[in-house]
């Protein structure tokens, strides 16, 4: 639990395109629907996907008049001065300021990080009460966590990202006495059961044991996610056919269930009365 009041969830993985921004907004919106006060912070100043996702949400609200909950959103820019040391200090200060101002305003903060190493990403990882790492469902994507012996399937060496996380966890434990609950989540799991799928599951379990983290049930590959970003919506929002360009399907319902299971697996502290205002989904026949 965070010392400062708000529980901080960081979504991180140095592998690009693993589903961090999609996961960050889905976690935030689901927690809002549950009645929590939630802030989102985007430290991916190059792509700003989460910031654009939240802006698209605001535009949809303004143009359609629909009532969906909004997180309090903050974008933290990279400092671009001449001095690296000065830039690091500036970034640390603006990060601390943002967290201080949110600490009493919200119950949870969800931070989206970029798919590369950097000072803001490291600062974010050092703040994580919970670190969620989405991993695409392929052996190549596991390489960002650990190098795997091709014959035995055993992790033989932790990768740079995992080492950064371990360092951030150790520093945080030493300075605050709080640990980071690190949770790996398989993302874009193929609906067709395959040899690759069971190999990935087996390997990810071994990596988790080696890194001292947990593995949550994953999120399947679903076409729906492609149509959600432009309208700033999530599977938890009311999704009428006109907005979506097609009727919601059973796949949406299943996607909701997967994210609900993920949040349950995160064992977040209970902050407010648990409700779930996600609208019932009207399926096509």
Ligand X SMILES: Nc1ncnc2c1ncn2[C@@H]1O[C@H](COP(=O)(O)OP(=O)(O)OP(=O)(O)O)[C@@H](O)[C@H]1O
Contact residues toward Mg ion (CB under 5 A) are 20-21, 49
From the CB of 132, what's the least distance to ligand X, in Å?
Answer: 11
Token pair 């001095």 is found at 83
Based on the shown chain and the rule CB under 6 A, indicate whether residue 47 belongs to the binding site for ligand X: yes
Tell me the CB-side half-sphere exposure of residue 179, using CA atoms within 13 A: 5
Q: Which of residues 105-134 bind ligand X (CB under 6 A)?
A: 114-115
Task: Please say which residue, 2 or 31, places its beta carbon nearer to ligand X.
Answer: 31
22 binds, among Mg ion, ligand X, none (CB under 5 to 8 A by kind): ligand X
Cα 173 from chain centroid? 22
DSSP bridge partners of 214: 183
Residues 78, 118 contacting (CB under 8 angstroms): yes
Per-residue binding letters, 48-67, with ligand X (x by CB under 6 A): -x------------------
Q: Name residue 220's beta-bridge partners.
A: 189
| CB atoms inside a 10 Å sphere around CB 89 | 14
Measured from the CB atom, the residue of 44 and 91 that comes closer to ligand X is: 44
Stretch that binds ligand X, among 82-90, 153-161, 194-202, 215-223 (CB under 6 A): 215-223
Q: By rule CB under 6 A, what string of x and - marks binding of each residue 139-168 to ligand X?
A: ------------------------------
Q: Is the CB of 46 or the CB of 97 nearer to ligand X? A: 46
Closest CB to ligand X among 90 and 229? 229
How many residues at the interface with ligand X, by CB under 6 A?
20
Q: Which residue lies nearest ligand X, judged by its C-beta?
A: 115
Closest residue to Mg ion using C-beta atoms = 21
Q: Which residues bind ligand X (CB under 6 A)?
A: 16-22, 44, 47, 49, 114-115, 187-188, 219, 221-222, 225-226, 229
């Amino acid at each position: 639990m965070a010392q400062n009041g708000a529980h901080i969830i960081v979504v991180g993985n140095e592998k690009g395109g693993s589903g961090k921004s999609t996961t960050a907004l889905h976690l935030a919106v689901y927690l809002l629907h549950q009645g929590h006060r939630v802030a989102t912070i985007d430290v991916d100043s190059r792509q700003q996907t989460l910031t654009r996702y939240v802006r698209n949400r605001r535009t949809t609200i303004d143009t359609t008049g629909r009532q969906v909950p909004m997180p309090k959103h903050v974008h933290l820019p990279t400092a671009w001065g001449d001095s690296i040391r000065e830039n690091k200090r500036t970034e640390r200060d603006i990060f601390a300021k943002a967290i201080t101002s949110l600490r009493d305003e919200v119950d949870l903060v969800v931070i989206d990080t970029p798919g590369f190493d950097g000072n803001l990403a490291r600062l974010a990882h050092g703040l994580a009460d919970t670190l969620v790492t989405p991993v695409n469902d392929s052996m190549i994507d596991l390489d960002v966590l650990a190098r795997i012996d091709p014959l035995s399937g055993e992790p033989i060496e932790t990768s740079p990202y995992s080492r950064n996380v371990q360092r951030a966890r150790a520093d945080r434990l030493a300075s605050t006495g709080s640990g980071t609950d690190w949770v790996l989540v398989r993302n874009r799991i193929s609906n067709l059961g395959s040899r690759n799928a069971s190999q990935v599951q087996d390997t990810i379990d071994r990596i988790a044991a080696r890194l001292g983290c947990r593995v949550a049930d994953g999120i399947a590959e679903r076409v729906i996610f492609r149509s959600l970003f432009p309208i700033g919506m999530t599977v938890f929002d009311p999704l009428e056919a006109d907005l979506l360009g097609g009727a919601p399907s059973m796949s949406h319902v299943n996607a909701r269930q997967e994210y609900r299971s993920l949040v349950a697996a995160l064992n977040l502290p209970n902050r407010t009365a648990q409700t779930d205002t996600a609208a019932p989904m009207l399926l096509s026949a």
